Structure 1
Amino acid sequence: MKKPAILSILTLFAQLTLAQGWDWGGPMDPLQQKFKVRHYRLELEFFPETQSIQGSNTITFSADEKLDTLRLNLIDVYQVEKVLMGGKEVQFNRHDDLVDIFPGNCDCDQVQVFYGGKTPIAQDPPWEGGFTWEKDQFDNYWMGLSDQGDGSQVFMPALDHPASEPSAGADMILTVPKPYFVASNGRLIETKESEDKLTYHWATTYPINVYNINFTMGVFQEEKLDFQSVSGQIVPMHVWVLQENRAKAMALLEVLKVSAETQEKYFGPFPFPKDKIAVVETPYLGMEHQTINAYGNNFQFVPMGDTQYDWLLHHELGHEWFGNKISVADFADMWLHEGLTAYGDFLFYWEHGGAEAYFGKVKTDYKSIPHQKPVVSPVNSTEEVAYHGEIYSKGAMVIHSLRGILGDEVFFPMIKAFATDERFTYQNMVDTQDFTDFVQEYSGQDLTGFFDLYLYSTALPKLKVGKRGKSGYAISLQGIDFTMPVEIQTSDGLVRVNLGPKPAEVNSATPPIVDPNGWIMMER
């Protein structure tokens, strides 16, 4: 939808008020370090005509000591009406997108915050978060929420930090006017109907990152099947699309099924089998909301071997493994979410298009890397600092390079082992050191120089090839102090040579081609 060329002063003021570019992440507030959230119970009613919400969030928490102040995040756009602890109202203070709650004498482990107001409008979803309110072709309301860059503070009071996941999951009790449906996380426990409203109770018992709690409202066509997981479990699989796209729903379901099978082959069983595998059509491009991924790619399927591929659907589904199951507590390590997931996109090409398609994809994506920012950001980075294109493209290339260095016999079992290791999954959050230590321990190789170069710097080794004698060549990688195994195409075939700053001699009757398949990032 194009923005009007001229906006009235009042409209401009409203947009600036409702789209403030909230950031999240960074160091956790000291007051919030004193407690842990165990469960959220979000009860919201949606009012499409006024683009507003009203309801409460009940937070169950634990603390090692009695709290003088319970600090939650909630943007100042919303008005907090009252706060209950132990069934009684307690005092609170609103400031700087925070809710400071004062329990007084209440030795409680639960707080209920009642709030509401007009929703912040997303100006560039999903990158700038908030609500998107649109209408479909039949004049039905269609609402989506995107908040990865801004956190759950844009829709509910919470301990809004990447390091905080409710250990016992969340319940979402969501009320809308008839005839609307709301797709959300987990499984649909119950649907209640009144004269003019519908209430949907969704719930998950898995830990869930607060930005992954999500909902999409509309009049949808649903298609579903029972997905046979490699674990042996049957997992419900659903797609919800607008009525105008009902003829495309079955094709979308098949694309989702193939993508799920591909992800499972390389990364292990679907991480949330007690819930569901699902996508819902959204009025913005997409996002990885746990068990209810946002899909807005307009069914742009492309043939890949004997099947169909949707890059957006496959990528967001991949986050169920890397981002939702394996999560980082510090956005400095956000590349583990995006780089590993983007490499999973490469593997769809490998699985269904073969080697030619895979290496073609690698070559294309590699050309887009500017090498301007390190993949790993400074400790305690906010989303604004850590989120940039290279955590996708260069992050995926780092994983691709590991495959080239380690070989398929080591690489593929290693990646699956990492994705299924209980030390790194669900509420056991990870950082880059966890990953690099695991790779080196599993492979038995010292890759310190490799990781330091490609994750923490923007430098690239420079390839140098010199002629020596009639058929000899001296080949080196300048600018590094370690060696890497690199493929070289010679007149006698493909050989692997450890290259580093000291020249290695290679014989070939024809000029050698160094790294013909593009495993290693270098200046050529």
Structure 2
Amino acid sequence: MKRISLLLLSLTWFCCQFSFAQNWDWGGPMDPLQIKFSIVHYELRLELFPENQSIAGSNTITFDSSEKLDTLRFQLIDEYEVSKVTMNGEEVKFSHQNDVLDIIPIDCTCDQVTVHYSGKTPIAINPPWTGGFTWEKDRLGNHWMGLSSQGEGAKIFMPALDHPSSEPSQGVDLYFTAPNPYFVASNGRLLDTQKGQEKTTFHWATEYPINNYNINFTLGVFEEENSIFTSVSGRHVPLVVYVLQENRRKASALLQVLEESVKTHEKYFGPFPFPDDKIAVVETPYLGMEHQTINAYGNNFQFVPMGKVQYDWLLHHELGHEWFGNKVSVGDWADMWIHEGITAYGDWLFYLEHGGEEAYLKKVKSELRNIPHAKPVQSPPNSTEEEAYHPEIYTKGAYIMHSLRGFLGDELFFPMLKAFASDDRFTYQNRVNSDDFVNFVLDYSGKDLLGFFDLYLLTTSLPEVEVKNKGKKGWQVSLKGIDFEMPVEIGTSEGVQKVNLGLKPMLIKSQTVPEIDPNYWYMLKR
């Protein structure tokens, strides 16, 4: 999700907990009935009706199971009416209540079920934090619709096995029908457009696994600007922006900003993860959200100069989720900091790449003030999205990555980061958790970082700097409250030196009071 100031995020998060009448949270322990099968593919066919803010259509779900199933359980909010469910061309019995759709399979070797449904769409109260559909009109009077569902899951727009650990292994086919002259931007590649006198159907598809909340579609009258991006992998990938007609003169600049952000992410995270599809953003009537290959953008083209290029923090952050969130995905929201923290750290790396080390360190120091250390970054196992989502998964999560850079040094840290994002064990169809990340860093670096990770991921405690004057001998320096050592820079009258610092006092010679960690590589009580 998007990166914003801590105060705004905290207030928004607090308000949302009490303003959303429906309990559309997701995650937590997986339903025992849903453990028995996995999703292979979704084929979503929807007609969009902007005049009455409703949808109607079907979702054909291809699934796989090693055993005969008595019940197929999916999630779909009660706001939609299910008219029928079919398997192998036959209507089957179903129950739809309490946002759960239970289907009784017929006795066949079928691996598909089609759910037909329709209804008024749930309206987002405070998108994207409290999500749903956002229906507006642009300044030219055209309908404009955006969808956000990170906090709610796919059940607010389609029947699905709605758990963060579940992704369709063979991707999705998405058919959207809308009245002319509207266009529907969505995931993957646009394979076909069937234009009629009154309405048009757009067929989008991706063969990559995709998280439920990343399946997305935006309706509007858009201007398209595009080019071809040459990835560091050598692949040529379509680069596309869709903006409202009223902003068509800004499309070219947005495309340039997008291209620069992709280049920067590729330097630190590796090749763009979805080269068979596209790199794209679409203008939305809310701030923004990561949606695989079609990121939502609502930051009003607020570019700022950074070195020789232009920077858009919202665009850059959402794009970073293509690597951490979309390619590298957690199966338990307890580990959401991997999505948000590493992606937020990617925002800081834009400062490093284009503003230099001084701009990067200034950014880091400013972010440190926004960390209250109120909740652990890693939540308990089987957390729901609401339980795990809080401001520090961004700021403190990013700072942990910054501290790792200080601990390991650039020669180890940056190759390690890229290697993690490229490891087959943790990408695409495979889910990742915090232990995977910690063990990967330990194995890659050969360093004992268990104490470091336990402290910063699992607690709100901080090492306390203690400096004692020992007269002519110098200064006695230690870090109270930890049982491990960290390589810490110390500024003295003779310059900066790096020492392994922990609970055991170290004698530092200096004619002036030593400055502990002057570049703020670590979160410390000073």
Q: TM-score higher than 0.5 here?
A: yes
Give the whole-Å Cα distance in 2 for the aligned partners of 1:175 and 1:17: 32
What is residue 5 of structure 1 aligned with on the other side?
A: none
Which of 391, 394, 398 is residue 393 of structure 2 equivalent to?
Answer: 391
What is residue 377 of structure 1 aligned with on the other side?
A: 379
Give the whole-Å Cα distance in 2 for the aligned partners of 1:266 and 1:94: 46
Deviation at 1:104, TM superposition (A): 2.8
Give the whole-Å Cα distance in 2 for the aligned partners of 1:430 and 1:113: 31
- Give the root-mean-square deviation of aligned CA atoms: 1.1
* Aligned partners of 2:20 and 2:130 also within 8 Å: no
Which of 89, 105, 108 is residue 106 of structure 1 equivalent to?
Answer: 108
Deviation at 1:81, TM superposition (A): 0.3
What is residue 149 of structure 1 aligned with on the other side?
A: 151
Structure 2 unaligned residues grouped into runs of 5+: 1-17
Deviation at 1:471, TM superposition (A): 5.8
Give the whole-Å Cα distance in 2 for the aligned partners of 1:253 and 1:302: 15
What is residue 169 of structure 2 aligned with on the other side?
A: 167
What is residue 504 of structure 1 aligned with on the other side?
A: 506
Give the whole-Å Cα distance in 1 for the aligned partners of 2:500 and 2:448: 14
1:218-276 deviations in whole A, cap 9, x for unaligned? Answer: 00111001001000000000000111111111000000000000000001000000000
Give the whole-Å Cα distance in 1 for the aligned partners of 2:103 and 2:197: 37
1:269-326 deviations in whole A, cap 9, x for unaligned? Answer: 0000000000000000000000000000111111100000000000000000000000
What is residue 359 of structure 1 aligned with on the other side?
A: 361
Amino acid across the alignment from 1:85: M
* Aligned partners of 1:19 and 1:120 also within 8 Å: no
Give the whole-Å Cα distance in 2 for the aligned partners of 1:236 and 1:430: 28
What is residue 83 of structure 1 aligned with on the other side?
A: 85
Which of 318, 321, 331 is residue 319 of structure 1 equivalent to?
Answer: 321
Give the whole-Å Cα distance in 1 for the aligned partners of 2:474 and 2:409: 27
Amino acid across the alignment from 2:50: P
1:85-138 deviations in whole A, cap 9, x for unaligned? Answer: 001100000111011000132331000000000000000000011100000000
What is residue 461 of structure 1 aligned with on the other side?
A: 463
Q: Secondary structure at the match of 1:150?
A: coil
* Aligned partners of 1:18 and 1:119 also within 8 Å: no
Amino acid across the alignment from 2:509: N
* Aligned partners of 1:73 and 1:157 also within 8 Å: yes
2:49 is equivalent to residue 51 of structure 1: no
What is residue 522 of structure 1 aligned with on the other side?
A: 524
1:182-206 deviations in whole A, cap 9, x for unaligned? Answer: 0000000000011100100000000
What is residue 258 of structure 1 aligned with on the other side?
A: 260
* Aligned partners of 1:185 and 1:204 also within 8 Å: yes
The number of residue pairs the alignment matches comes to: 509
Amino acid across the alignment from 1:433: D
Which of 472, 475, 490 is residue 474 of structure 2 equivalent to?
Answer: 472
Q: Secondary structure at the match of 1:41?
A: strand
1:147-191 deviations in whole A, cap 9, x for unaligned? Answer: 000000000000010000000000000000000000000000000
TM-score (normalizing by structure 1) = 0.96
Amino acid across the alignment from 1:283: P
Which of 448, 453, 477 is residue 451 of structure 1 equivalent to?
Answer: 453
Q: Which moved more, 1:500-509 or 1:226-235?
A: 500-509
Amino acid across the alignment from 1:469: G
2:208 is equivalent to residue 206 of structure 1: yes
Deviation at 1:492, TM superposition (A): 1.4
Which of 438, 441, 444 is residue 442 of structure 1 equivalent to?
Answer: 444
Give the whole-Å Cα distance in 1 for the aligned partners of 2:178 and 2:446: 56
Please show how residues 343-358 of structure 1 align to structure 2 within 5 Å.
Answer: 343-358=345-360
Give the whole-Å Cα distance in 2 for the aligned partners of 1:360 and 1:20: 42
Amino acid across the alignment from 1:499: L
Give the whole-Å Cα distance in 1 for the aligned partners of 2:505 and 2:517: 16
Where does structure 1 differ by over 4 angstroms across 4 or more consecutive aligned residues? 16-19
Give the whole-Å Cα distance in 2 for the aligned partners of 1:197 and 1:409: 56
What is residue 311 of structure 2 aligned with on the other side?
A: 309
* Aligned partners of 1:18 and 1:77 also within 8 Å: no
Give the whole-Å Cα distance in 1 for the aligned partners of 2:517 and 2:170: 49
Structure 1 unaligned residues grouped into runs of 5+: 1-15
* Aligned partners of 2:115 and 2:159 also within 8 Å: yes
2:290 is equivalent to residue 288 of structure 1: yes
Amino acid across the alignment from 2:364: V
Amino acid across the alignment from 1:34: K
* Aligned partners of 2:124 and 2:131 also within 8 Å: yes
Give the whole-Å Cα distance in 1 for the aligned partners of 2:376 and 2:20: 33
Q: Secondary structure at the match of 2:162?
A: coil
Please show how residues 267-286 of structure 1 align to structure 2 within 5 Å.
Answer: 267-286=269-288
Greater RCO (CA < 8 Å, at least 6 residues apart): 2
What is residue 13 of structure 2 aligned with on the other side?
A: none
Give the whole-Å Cα distance in 2 for the aligned partners of 1:145 and 1:403: 36
**Alignment CA distance shift 1:329-1:216 (3 Å):** same
What is residue 9 of structure 1 aligned with on the other side?
A: none
2:341 is equivalent to residue 339 of structure 1: yes
Q: Secondary structure at the match of 2:262?
A: helix
Deviation at 1:468, TM superposition (A): 1.0
What is residue 63 of structure 2 aligned with on the other side?
A: 61
* Aligned partners of 2:306 and 2:354 also within 8 Å: yes
Give the whole-Å Cα distance in 1 for the aligned partners of 2:467 and 2:311: 40
Amino acid across the alignment from 2:124: A
2:408 is equivalent to residue 406 of structure 1: yes
What is residue 490 of structure 1 aligned with on the other side?
A: 492
Q: Which moved more, 1:508-517 or 1:141-150?
A: 508-517
What is residue 13 of structure 1 aligned with on the other side?
A: none
1:318-377 deviations in whole A, cap 9, x for unaligned? Answer: 000000000000000000000000000010000000011101110111100010100000
Give the whole-Å Cα distance in 1 for the aligned partners of 2:473 and 2:338: 44
1:7-28 deviations in whole A, cap 9, x for unaligned? Answer: xxxxxxxxx9995241000011
Percent identity between the two aligned chains: 68
Q: Secondary structure at the match of 1:279?
A: strand
Give the whole-Å Cα distance in 1 for the aligned partners of 2:430 and 2:209: 10
Give the whole-Å Cα distance in 1 for the aligned partners of 2:186 and 2:106: 35
Give the whole-Å Cα distance in 1 for the aligned partners of 2:29 and 2:495: 53
What is residue 140 of structure 2 aligned with on the other side?
A: 138
* Aligned partners of 2:53 and 2:135 also within 8 Å: yes
Give the whole-Å Cα distance in 2 for the aligned partners of 1:51 and 1:427: 34
* Aligned partners of 2:124 and 2:133 also within 8 Å: yes
Q: Secondary structure at the match of 1:241?
A: strand
Give the whole-Å Cα distance in 1 for the aligned partners of 2:23 and 2:248: 35
1:389-446 deviations in whole A, cap 9, x for unaligned? Answer: 0000000000000000100000000000001111111011110000000001100011
Give the whole-Å Cα distance in 2 for the aligned partners of 1:18 and 1:487: 47
Give the whole-Å Cα distance in 2 for the aligned partners of 1:515 and 1:299: 37
1:442-470 deviations in whole A, cap 9, x for unaligned? Answer: 00011010000000000001100111123
Which of 243, 249, 265 is residue 241 of structure 1 equivalent to?
Answer: 243
Q: Secondary structure at the match of 1:470?
A: helix
Q: Secondary structure at the match of 1:260?
A: helix
Q: Secondary structure at the match of 1:417?
A: helix
Which of 231, 235, 255 is residue 233 of structure 2 equivalent to?
Answer: 231
**Alignment CA distance shift 1:347-1:509 (3 Å):** same
What is residue 4 of structure 1 aligned with on the other side?
A: none
* Aligned partners of 2:87 and 2:106 also within 8 Å: no
